Amino acid sequence: MCFNTNQQNIQFAYIGDGFKALTGIYRKYIAVNEKNQVLALRGKSQPFTPRGGISEIREFLNASSTEEYHFIDYDFSCKYSLFSLQL
């Protein structure tokens, strides 16, 4: 249940909500591969944290609006469930 980009199976893991004084609440994600190893994408030293929601994820992936991607959604007890999202 993941998508393929750059020959790696990559999923976004939701790790909770963050807060910034100027922009308010945003959802925090990390990118993980099929072995659940955290990835640094685009050469960033920090995990990818989209602050613009789905539109920023789509821009990050250069995704078509008709493609379906799968994500890992973590709750605050660190359990996770798979869900898919039409971008």
Given a cut of 60, is residue 70 above it in pLDDT?
no
According to the model, what pLDDT value does residue 57 have? 58
Query: Once rounded to an integer, what is the mean pLDDT over residues 42-49?
Result: 41
3 pLDDT band, cuts 50/70/90, is: very low
Question: What's the CA gap between 76 and 78, in Å, rounded?
Answer: 5
Terminal CA-CA length for the chain: 15
Beta-ladder partners of 38: 32
69 pLDDT band, cuts 50/70/90, is: very low
Domains of the chain: which residue ranges?
Answer: 3-86
According to the model, what pLDDT value does residue 56 have? 61
pTM of structure: 0.34
